[in-house]
Amino acid sequence: MRKNIYKTGLFTALIAISSCNLTQNSTEEKTVIKEISTSVESAKVSEASVKSSMEYLASNELRGRETGTEGIEKAAVYIEEKFNEAGLKPYFKTYRDSFEVRGLNGYNVVGFLEGNDPELKKEFVILGAHYDHVGFEKKVDGDSIANGANDNAAGTVAVLELAKHFGAAKNNKRSMLFILFSAEEMGLQGAKHISSRLKSEGLDLYSLVNFEMIGVPMTNNDYLAYLTGYENSNMADKFNEYANSKVLGFLPQAKEYSLFQRSDNYPFYLEFQVPSQTISTFDFTNYKYYHHVSDEASRMNYPHMVNLIEKVIPGISGIVNSAGREIKMNE
Protein backbone atom coordinates (compact mmCIF):
# COMPACT_ATOMS: atom_id res chain seq x y z
CA MET A 1 0.00 0.00 0.00
CA ARG A 2 1.17 3.42 -0.89
CA LYS A 3 2.72 5.31 1.96
CA ASN A 4 1.35 8.38 3.76
CA ILE A 5 2.71 9.40 7.16
CA TYR A 6 0.38 10.43 9.99
CA LYS A 7 1.10 10.84 13.62
CA THR A 8 -1.27 8.72 15.63
CA GLY A 9 -3.09 5.46 16.21
CA LEU A 10 -6.36 4.81 14.49
CA PHE A 11 -5.97 7.42 11.78
CA THR A 12 -2.69 5.80 10.77
CA ALA A 13 -4.50 2.48 10.61
CA LEU A 14 -7.25 4.04 8.53
CA ILE A 15 -4.72 5.39 6.10
CA ALA A 16 -3.16 1.95 5.84
CA ILE A 17 -5.85 1.05 3.35
CA SER A 18 -7.12 4.45 2.26
CA SER A 19 -3.62 5.37 1.15
CA CYS A 20 -3.63 2.62 -1.42
CA ASN A 21 -3.81 5.40 -4.02
CA LEU A 22 -0.36 5.33 -4.08
CA THR A 23 -6.95 -2.32 -10.76
CA GLN A 24 -33.91 -13.74 -12.53
CA ASN A 25 -32.10 -16.95 -13.33
CA SER A 26 -33.91 -19.61 -15.26
CA THR A 27 -34.38 -22.95 -13.50
CA GLU A 28 -31.53 -24.32 -15.60
CA GLU A 29 -29.18 -21.52 -14.50
CA LYS A 30 -29.99 -22.07 -10.84
CA THR A 31 -29.26 -25.76 -11.21
CA VAL A 32 -25.89 -25.02 -12.77
CA ILE A 33 -24.93 -22.64 -9.98
CA LYS A 34 -25.98 -25.16 -7.33
CA GLU A 35 -23.77 -27.77 -8.97
CA ILE A 36 -20.87 -25.32 -9.08
CA SER A 37 -21.21 -24.51 -5.38
CA THR A 38 -21.42 -28.17 -4.43
CA SER A 39 -18.34 -29.09 -6.44
CA VAL A 40 -16.14 -26.39 -4.95
CA GLU A 41 -17.34 -26.27 -1.35
CA SER A 42 -14.98 -29.12 -0.61
CA ALA A 43 -12.00 -27.39 -2.27
CA LYS A 44 -9.03 -27.62 0.06
CA VAL A 45 -6.16 -25.17 0.28
CA SER A 46 -2.88 -26.33 1.77
CA GLU A 47 -1.78 -24.31 4.79
CA ALA A 48 1.78 -25.48 4.16
CA SER A 49 1.61 -24.06 0.63
CA VAL A 50 0.20 -20.74 1.83
CA LYS A 51 2.85 -20.45 4.53
CA SER A 52 5.69 -21.41 2.21
CA SER A 53 4.79 -18.72 -0.33
CA MET A 54 4.22 -16.13 2.40
CA GLU A 55 7.57 -16.84 4.03
CA TYR A 56 9.42 -16.48 0.74
CA LEU A 57 7.66 -13.38 -0.58
CA ALA A 58 7.98 -11.61 2.80
CA SER A 59 11.53 -12.80 3.45
CA ASN A 60 14.54 -10.57 3.99
CA GLU A 61 16.00 -12.01 0.79
CA LEU A 62 13.45 -10.03 -1.25
CA ARG A 63 14.38 -6.79 0.56
CA GLY A 64 10.83 -5.40 0.71
CA ARG A 65 9.95 -5.97 -2.99
CA GLU A 66 10.28 -2.35 -4.06
CA THR A 67 9.57 -1.78 -7.76
CA GLY A 68 12.72 -1.69 -9.86
CA THR A 69 14.87 -3.68 -7.41
CA GLU A 70 16.47 -7.11 -7.39
CA GLY A 71 14.06 -8.16 -4.65
CA ILE A 72 10.92 -7.66 -6.71
CA GLU A 73 12.62 -9.37 -9.66
CA LYS A 74 12.98 -12.47 -7.47
CA ALA A 75 9.32 -12.20 -6.53
CA ALA A 76 8.33 -11.98 -10.20
CA VAL A 77 10.35 -15.09 -11.05
CA TYR A 78 8.70 -16.95 -8.17
CA ILE A 79 5.24 -15.95 -9.38
CA GLU A 80 6.05 -17.03 -12.93
CA GLU A 81 7.13 -20.44 -11.65
CA LYS A 82 3.90 -20.82 -9.68
CA PHE A 83 1.78 -19.83 -12.69
CA ASN A 84 3.62 -22.35 -14.83
CA GLU A 85 3.12 -25.11 -12.24
CA ALA A 86 -0.59 -24.26 -12.12
CA GLY A 87 -0.92 -24.73 -15.87
CA LEU A 88 -1.49 -21.06 -16.66
CA LYS A 89 -0.19 -19.77 -19.97
CA PRO A 90 1.33 -16.33 -20.58
CA TYR A 91 -1.31 -13.92 -21.87
CA PHE A 92 1.27 -11.84 -23.68
CA LYS A 93 4.49 -13.17 -25.25
CA THR A 94 5.74 -13.92 -21.74
CA TYR A 95 4.15 -13.77 -18.29
CA ARG A 96 5.34 -10.18 -17.97
CA ASP A 97 3.61 -6.95 -18.86
CA SER A 98 6.44 -4.42 -18.79
CA PHE A 99 6.24 -0.68 -18.20
CA GLU A 100 8.42 2.18 -17.03
CA VAL A 101 7.72 4.30 -13.97
CA ARG A 102 9.97 7.10 -12.69
CA GLY A 103 12.86 5.75 -14.71
CA LEU A 104 12.44 2.24 -13.31
CA ASN A 105 11.35 -0.96 -15.03
CA GLY A 106 8.14 -2.47 -13.65
CA TYR A 107 6.53 -5.81 -14.39
CA ASN A 108 2.98 -6.95 -13.91
CA VAL A 109 2.92 -10.76 -13.95
CA VAL A 110 -0.02 -12.17 -15.91
CA GLY A 111 -1.26 -15.76 -16.15
CA PHE A 112 -3.99 -16.85 -18.58
CA LEU A 113 -6.53 -19.65 -18.23
CA GLU A 114 -8.76 -19.99 -21.27
CA GLY A 115 -12.44 -20.71 -20.73
CA ASN A 116 -13.99 -23.92 -22.00
CA ASP A 117 -17.31 -22.53 -23.26
CA PRO A 118 -17.25 -21.55 -26.97
CA GLU A 119 -19.05 -18.25 -26.33
CA LEU A 120 -18.43 -17.40 -22.67
CA LYS A 121 -14.66 -17.80 -23.08
CA LYS A 122 -14.70 -14.50 -24.96
CA GLU A 123 -15.52 -12.83 -21.63
CA PHE A 124 -12.83 -12.42 -18.96
CA VAL A 125 -12.73 -12.45 -15.17
CA ILE A 126 -9.58 -11.02 -13.55
CA LEU A 127 -8.23 -12.00 -10.14
CA GLY A 128 -5.52 -9.63 -8.94
CA ALA A 129 -3.33 -8.32 -6.13
CA HIS A 130 -0.23 -6.14 -5.93
CA TYR A 131 3.02 -7.93 -5.13
CA ASP A 132 5.27 -4.89 -4.67
CA HIS A 133 6.01 -3.17 -1.37
CA VAL A 134 8.08 -0.20 -0.17
CA GLY A 135 11.51 -1.72 0.39
CA PHE A 136 12.90 -0.14 3.56
CA GLU A 137 11.42 1.77 6.48
CA LYS A 138 12.53 3.24 9.80
CA LYS A 139 14.91 0.89 11.57
CA VAL A 140 13.60 -0.97 14.61
CA ASP A 141 15.94 -3.18 16.66
CA GLY A 142 18.43 -3.22 13.82
CA ASP A 143 15.85 -4.21 11.17
CA SER A 144 15.03 -1.81 8.34
CA ILE A 145 13.43 -4.18 5.78
CA ALA A 146 9.70 -3.58 5.34
CA ASN A 147 8.83 -7.15 4.37
CA GLY A 148 5.21 -6.43 3.43
CA ALA A 149 3.62 -9.66 4.61
CA ASN A 150 0.05 -8.41 5.07
CA ASP A 151 0.68 -5.63 2.54
CA ASN A 152 0.50 -7.40 0.19
CA ALA A 153 2.22 -10.76 0.07
CA ALA A 154 -1.02 -12.02 1.62
CA GLY A 155 -3.12 -10.96 -1.35
CA THR A 156 -0.48 -12.27 -3.74
CA VAL A 157 -0.55 -15.69 -2.08
CA ALA A 158 -4.34 -15.77 -2.39
CA VAL A 159 -4.07 -15.23 -6.15
CA LEU A 160 -1.40 -17.94 -6.43
CA GLU A 161 -3.58 -20.42 -4.56
CA LEU A 162 -6.61 -19.55 -6.69
CA ALA A 163 -4.50 -20.00 -9.82
CA LYS A 164 -3.53 -23.44 -8.55
CA HIS A 165 -7.16 -24.37 -7.87
CA PHE A 166 -8.67 -23.15 -11.14
CA GLY A 167 -5.70 -24.36 -13.15
CA ALA A 168 -6.17 -27.87 -11.79
CA ALA A 169 -9.97 -27.87 -12.06
CA LYS A 170 -10.03 -26.57 -15.65
CA ASN A 171 -13.79 -26.10 -15.41
CA ASN A 172 -14.00 -22.35 -16.00
CA LYS A 173 -16.47 -21.33 -18.71
CA ARG A 174 -15.18 -17.77 -18.92
CA SER A 175 -11.51 -17.04 -19.49
CA MET A 176 -9.50 -15.90 -16.49
CA LEU A 177 -6.50 -13.61 -16.04
CA PHE A 178 -4.48 -13.80 -12.83
CA ILE A 179 -2.58 -10.52 -12.50
CA LEU A 180 -0.01 -9.61 -9.86
CA PHE A 181 0.50 -5.85 -10.07
CA SER A 182 3.74 -3.94 -9.54
CA ALA A 183 4.16 -0.25 -8.61
CA GLU A 184 0.95 -0.09 -6.60
CA GLU A 185 2.95 1.68 -3.92
CA MET A 186 3.91 4.29 -6.52
CA GLY A 187 0.31 5.24 -7.26
CA LEU A 188 -1.36 2.19 -8.84
CA GLN A 189 0.98 2.53 -11.81
CA GLY A 190 1.02 -1.15 -12.77
CA ALA A 191 -2.76 -1.41 -12.72
CA LYS A 192 -3.11 1.83 -14.67
CA HIS A 193 -0.75 0.54 -17.35
CA ILE A 194 -2.28 -2.88 -17.88
CA SER A 195 -5.92 -1.77 -17.62
CA SER A 196 -5.26 0.78 -20.37
CA ARG A 197 -3.42 -1.81 -22.46
CA LEU A 198 -6.15 -4.43 -22.14
CA LYS A 199 -8.86 -1.88 -22.94
CA SER A 200 -7.02 -0.74 -26.06
CA GLU A 201 -6.68 -4.38 -27.16
CA GLY A 202 -10.42 -4.93 -26.88
CA LEU A 203 -10.57 -7.26 -23.87
CA ASP A 204 -14.16 -8.01 -22.87
CA LEU A 205 -13.92 -7.70 -19.08
CA TYR A 206 -16.87 -9.07 -17.12
CA SER A 207 -15.54 -8.33 -13.63
CA LEU A 208 -12.39 -8.05 -11.50
CA VAL A 209 -11.78 -9.22 -7.94
CA ASN A 210 -8.71 -7.79 -6.19
CA PHE A 211 -7.16 -8.98 -2.90
CA GLU A 212 -5.55 -6.59 -0.42
CA MET A 213 -4.33 -7.16 3.15
CA ILE A 214 -6.10 -10.43 3.99
CA GLY A 215 -3.48 -11.87 6.38
CA VAL A 216 -5.38 -11.42 9.66
CA PRO A 217 -9.08 -11.96 10.46
CA MET A 218 -11.62 -9.24 11.05
CA THR A 219 -13.10 -8.74 14.49
CA ASN A 220 -16.75 -8.73 15.58
CA ASN A 221 -18.31 -9.24 12.15
CA ASP A 222 -20.72 -11.82 10.77
CA TYR A 223 -18.82 -11.95 7.46
CA LEU A 224 -15.25 -12.96 6.58
CA ALA A 225 -14.12 -9.98 4.51
CA TYR A 226 -15.42 -6.67 3.24
CA LEU A 227 -15.77 -5.55 -0.35
CA THR A 228 -14.77 -2.03 -1.33
CA GLY A 229 -17.38 -0.23 -3.40
CA TYR A 230 -19.95 -2.52 -1.77
CA GLU A 231 -22.87 -0.31 -2.73
CA ASN A 232 -21.66 0.29 -6.31
CA SER A 233 -22.60 -3.15 -7.62
CA ASN A 234 -24.40 -6.35 -6.70
CA MET A 235 -21.12 -8.29 -6.51
CA ALA A 236 -21.26 -8.99 -2.76
CA ASP A 237 -24.86 -10.23 -2.88
CA LYS A 238 -24.27 -12.49 -5.89
CA PHE A 239 -20.94 -13.68 -4.49
CA ASN A 240 -22.58 -14.73 -1.23
CA GLU A 241 -25.43 -16.36 -3.15
CA TYR A 242 -22.99 -18.43 -5.20
CA ALA A 243 -21.06 -19.37 -2.08
CA ASN A 244 -24.21 -20.08 -0.06
CA SER A 245 -22.46 -18.25 2.78
CA LYS A 246 -21.95 -14.68 4.02
CA VAL A 247 -18.39 -14.33 2.82
CA LEU A 248 -18.43 -10.62 1.91
CA GLY A 249 -19.93 -7.72 3.83
CA PHE A 250 -20.04 -3.93 4.13
CA LEU A 251 -17.55 -1.95 6.22
CA PRO A 252 -18.68 1.67 6.77
CA GLN A 253 -15.12 3.00 6.89
CA ALA A 254 -14.49 1.60 3.42
CA LYS A 255 -17.06 4.01 2.03
CA GLU A 256 -16.12 6.84 4.37
CA TYR A 257 -12.50 6.73 3.24
CA SER A 258 -13.25 6.04 -0.44
CA LEU A 259 -11.32 2.77 -0.46
CA PHE A 260 -12.96 1.75 -3.72
CA GLN A 261 -10.82 4.38 -5.45
CA ARG A 262 -7.58 3.53 -3.65
CA SER A 263 -6.46 0.09 -4.79
CA ASP A 264 -5.67 -1.68 -8.06
CA ASN A 265 -9.32 -2.37 -8.83
CA TYR A 266 -9.99 1.29 -9.56
CA PRO A 267 -8.08 1.78 -12.83
CA PHE A 268 -10.05 -1.16 -14.27
CA TYR A 269 -13.33 0.39 -13.20
CA LEU A 270 -12.34 3.65 -14.87
CA GLU A 271 -11.32 1.93 -18.11
CA PHE A 272 -14.07 -0.69 -18.40
CA GLN A 273 -16.96 0.63 -16.27
CA VAL A 274 -17.68 -2.89 -14.95
CA PRO A 275 -17.66 -4.26 -11.38
CA SER A 276 -14.01 -4.16 -10.26
CA GLN A 277 -13.67 -4.37 -6.49
CA THR A 278 -11.29 -5.31 -3.69
CA ILE A 279 -11.63 -7.91 -0.93
CA SER A 280 -9.85 -7.09 2.34
CA THR A 281 -9.89 -8.13 6.01
CA PHE A 282 -7.94 -5.17 7.44
CA ASP A 283 -10.66 -3.61 9.61
CA PHE A 284 -8.69 -0.66 11.06
CA THR A 285 -8.31 -2.33 14.46
CA ASN A 286 -6.70 -5.71 13.78
CA TYR A 287 -3.21 -4.88 12.45
CA LYS A 288 -0.81 -2.10 13.41
CA TYR A 289 2.22 -2.81 11.23
CA TYR A 290 1.37 -0.95 8.04
CA HIS A 291 4.59 0.01 6.22
CA HIS A 292 6.50 -1.17 9.23
CA VAL A 293 9.49 -3.48 9.51
CA SER A 294 7.37 -5.74 11.73
CA ASP A 295 4.95 -6.60 8.91
CA GLU A 296 6.38 -10.12 8.92
CA ALA A 297 5.16 -13.52 7.74
CA SER A 298 5.24 -14.72 11.35
CA ARG A 299 2.38 -12.34 12.19
CA MET A 300 0.01 -13.79 9.60
CA ASN A 301 -2.91 -15.96 10.67
CA TYR A 302 -2.59 -18.96 8.36
CA PRO A 303 -5.77 -20.84 9.35
CA HIS A 304 -7.70 -17.64 8.62
CA MET A 305 -6.02 -17.21 5.24
CA VAL A 306 -6.72 -20.80 4.26
CA ASN A 307 -10.35 -20.47 5.35
CA LEU A 308 -10.86 -17.23 3.42
CA ILE A 309 -9.28 -18.57 0.22
CA GLU A 310 -11.40 -21.71 0.41
CA LYS A 311 -14.55 -19.66 1.05
CA VAL A 312 -14.03 -17.31 -1.91
CA ILE A 313 -13.65 -20.18 -4.39
CA PRO A 314 -17.41 -20.86 -4.73
CA GLY A 315 -18.13 -17.14 -5.23
CA ILE A 316 -15.49 -16.81 -7.92
CA SER A 317 -16.70 -20.03 -9.55
CA GLY A 318 -20.19 -18.56 -9.73
CA ILE A 319 -18.88 -15.44 -11.45
CA VAL A 320 -16.79 -17.46 -13.89
CA ASN A 321 -19.50 -19.98 -14.74
CA SER A 322 -22.88 -18.21 -14.59
CA ALA A 323 -24.81 -18.43 -17.87
CA GLY A 324 -25.42 -14.67 -17.96
CA ARG A 325 -23.60 -11.53 -16.82
CA GLU A 326 -25.22 -11.42 -13.41
CA ILE A 327 -22.65 -9.17 -11.69
CA LYS A 328 -23.70 -5.62 -12.55
CA MET A 329 -23.06 -2.04 -11.53
CA ASN A 330 -25.94 -0.48 -9.61
CA GLU A 331 -27.73 2.52 -11.05
Average pLDDT on 89-98 reads 98
Distance CA 265, CA 269 (A): 7
Give residue-wise pLDDT tens across range 65-93: 999 999 999 999 999 999 999 999 999 99
Domains, the chain, with CATH or none = 9-321 (3.40.630.10)
HSE of 317, CA atoms in CB hemisphere, 13 A: 29
Average pLDDT on 295-317 reads 98
Q: In which band, very low, low, confident or very high, does the pLDDT at 5 lie, cut at 50, 70 and 90?
A: very low
CA distances from 189 to 5, 10, 102, 218 (A): 20, 27, 10, 29
Give residue-wise pLDDT tens across range 112-134: 999 999 999 999 999 999 999 99
Q: Which residue has the higher pLDDT, 97 or 43?
A: 97
Average pLDDT on 181-210 reads 98
- Look at residues 90, 78, 71 and name the one whose alpha carbon lies nearest to residue 49: 78
Q: Mean pLDDT score of the chain, rounded to an integer?
A: 90
Q: Residue 257: pLDDT above 60?
A: yes
Give residue-wise pLDDT tens across range 20-44: 433 333 323 333 334 443 344 457 9
The model's pTM is 0.89
Q: Residue 47: pLDDT above 60?
A: yes
Do 115 and 188 touch, CB atoms closer than 8 A?
A: no
- Look at residues 158, 159, 200 and name the one whose alpha carbon lies nearest to residue 176: 159
Counting residues of the chain whose pLDDT is more than 90, the rounded percentage is: 85
Backbone angles phi, psi at 284, to 5 degrees: 80, 0
Average pLDDT on 11-26 reads 39
Q: Which of 43-47, 49-53, 195-199 is predicted least confidently?
A: 43-47
Distance CA 135, CA 63 (A): 6
pLDDT, position 42: 53
pLDDT, position 331: 86
Q: Residue 327: pLDDT above 90?
A: yes
Average pLDDT on 263-275 reads 98
